[in-house]
């Protein structure tokens, strides 16, 4: 196990805490509770917590160049969402409610595109999930089909490769990435988890190592750039969902967790399930990126 120190557990009791991100602009950590339609903001190290309601399940999000606005992958599609006013500023619906599909993990690349993928939640056996890319001009493209549960979107430090996990397949894939065009190449297997353990949300540190929250694995696994295991951080609950680095020196690790699907006996034992865990580490992360809202909001403002 890696030498890190767990310094806090923020008691929020999320049903499905997910998508944790660090906002260096206001020194705060953000995440969503998907099933409860909540967006969380926690200042750090001040530990002041705000909670915002969302109009439907918020599955993934990223920060933008506009105050109080996120780019969102709601359960049915993409949107620009003013979380303080609870107002959708722009929206592109891709899924029908009740279709058995919803969006899941997503992240912004260094060039300002927002990537997010879908998953089936109705028990179907077909891999009907799709990875999408949203450009700042509103164009949406399909990048990968044949997905069960989209997870773990992130890029290496020089944007030459894109990482993406399909959780039920227990597989983390790597693609060659054309940063200028925003295209991915053929997928190759980067790493597989052990039986009964599933790769969830992920991030890459400043040294180019991939960190993967491992659902049912009670840990965050670190992988070297060649896919070899490079240590792990134990989490005191079985269902960590996502990981990011943050803090003033980018050396704090924040991990979201879930209590969804845990029975009463397990919840009694895992009484901290659904909380946000904070670790002090000897590692450093990379600052996130922002989505430009200018083109989309200018289109809306144009006279008919």
Domain that holds residue 89: 5-301
From residue 116, give the alpha-carbon distance in Å to each of 32, 43, 68, 226: 15, 26, 21, 25
Average pLDDT (294-301) is 85
Average pLDDT (277-297) is 96
The C-alpha atoms of residue 236 and residue 277 are separated, in whole angstroms, by 9
The C-alpha atoms of residue 191 and residue 123 are separated, in whole angstroms, by 25
**What pLDDT is stored for residue 171 in this prediction?**
98
pTM over 0.95, yes/no: yes
**What pLDDT is stored for residue 303 in this prediction?**
54
pLDDT tens, 101-139? 999 999 999 999 999 999 999 999 999 999 999 999 999
From residue 298, give the alpha-carbon distance in Å to each of 89, 90, 134, 293, 301: 11, 11, 17, 8, 5
Q: Is residue 66 over pLDDT 50?
A: yes
Query: Hey, how many other C-beta atoms are within 10 angstroms of the C-beta on 68?
Result: 12
Backbone angles phi, psi at 127, to 5 degrees: -85, 80
Backbone angles phi, psi at 42, to 5 degrees: -125, 120
The C-alpha atoms of residue 114 and residue 106 are separated, in whole angstroms, by 7
The C-alpha atoms of residue 18 and residue 258 are separated, in whole angstroms, by 8
Mean pLDDT of all residues belonging to the chain: 96
Residue 225's Cβ-count burial label (10 Å; 0-12, 13-18, 19+) is middle
Query: Hey, how many other C-beta atoms are within 10 angstroms of the C-beta on 281?
Result: 19
Average pLDDT (201-225) is 98
**pLDDT band at residue 146 under the 50/70/90 scheme:** very high
**pLDDT band at residue 302 under the 50/70/90 scheme:** low
**What pLDDT is stored for residue 294 in this prediction?**
95
Per-residue exposure over 7-25, b if at least 16 CB sit within 10 Å of its own CB, e if not = ebbbebebebbbbbbbbee
Q: Is residue 232 over pLDDT 50?
A: yes
The C-alpha atoms of residue 21 and residue 232 are separated, in whole angstroms, by 20
Domains contained in the chain, number: 1
Residue 117's Cβ-count burial label (10 Å; 0-12, 13-18, 19+) is buried
Please write down the long-range contacts of 186-190, taking CB distance under 8 Å and 24 or more positions apart.
Answer: 187/144, 190/163, 190/223, 190/227
* Cβ-based neighbours of 100, under 8 Å, separated by 6 or more: 120, 121, 122, 124
**What pLDDT is stored for residue 300 in this prediction?**
76
**What pLDDT is stored for residue 304 in this prediction?**
47
Average pLDDT (240-266) is 97
**pLDDT band at residue 1 under the 50/70/90 scheme:** confident
Q: What is the CATH number of the domain that holds 218?
A: 2.120.10.30
* Nearest in space to 132 (alpha carbons), one of 72, 222, 68, 216: 72
**pLDDT band at residue 9 under the 50/70/90 scheme:** very high
The C-alpha atoms of residue 286 and residue 269 are separated, in whole angstroms, by 35
The DSSP call for residue 265 is H
**What pLDDT is stored for residue 301 in this prediction?**
67
Average pLDDT (274-298) is 96
């Amino acid at each position: 196990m890696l030498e890190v120190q767990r310094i806090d557990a923020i008691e929020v009791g999320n049903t499905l805490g997910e998508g944790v991100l660090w906002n260096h602009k206001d020194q705060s950590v953000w995440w969503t509770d998907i099933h409860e339609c909540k967006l969380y903001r926690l200042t750090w190290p001040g530990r002041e917590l705000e909670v915002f309601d969302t109009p439907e399940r918020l599955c993934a999000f990223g920060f933008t160049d506009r105050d109080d606005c996120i780019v969102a992958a709601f359960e049915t599609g993409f949107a620009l969402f003013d979380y303080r006013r609870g107002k959708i500023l722009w929206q592109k619906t891709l899924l029908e409610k009740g279709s058995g599909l919803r969006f899941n993990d997503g992240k912004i690349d260094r060039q300002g595109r927002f990537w997010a993928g879908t998953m089936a939640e109705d028990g179907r056996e077909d891999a009907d999930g799709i990875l999408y890319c949203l450009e700042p001009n509103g164009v949406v493209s399909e990048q990968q089909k044949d997905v069960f549960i989209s997870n773990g979107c992130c890029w290496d430090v020089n944007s030459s490769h894109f990482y993406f996990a399909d959780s039920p397949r227990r597989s983390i894939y790597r693609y060659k990435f054309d940063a200028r065009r925003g295209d991915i190449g053929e997928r190759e297997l980067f790493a597989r988890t052990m039986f009964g353990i599933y790769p969830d949300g992920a991030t890459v540190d400043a040294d180019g190592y991939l960190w993967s929250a491992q659902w049912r694995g009670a840990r965050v696994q670190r992988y070297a750039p060649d896919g070899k295991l490079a240590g792990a951080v134990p989490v005191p609950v079985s269902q960590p969902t996502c990981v990011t680095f943050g803090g003033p020196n980018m050396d704090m690790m924040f991990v979201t967790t879930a209590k969804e699907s845990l029975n009463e006996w397990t919840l009694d034992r895992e009484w901290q399930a659904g909380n946000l865990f904070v670790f002090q580490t000897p590692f450093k992360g990379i600052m996130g990126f922002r989505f430009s809202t200018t083109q989309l909001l200018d289109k809306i403002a144009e006279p008919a």
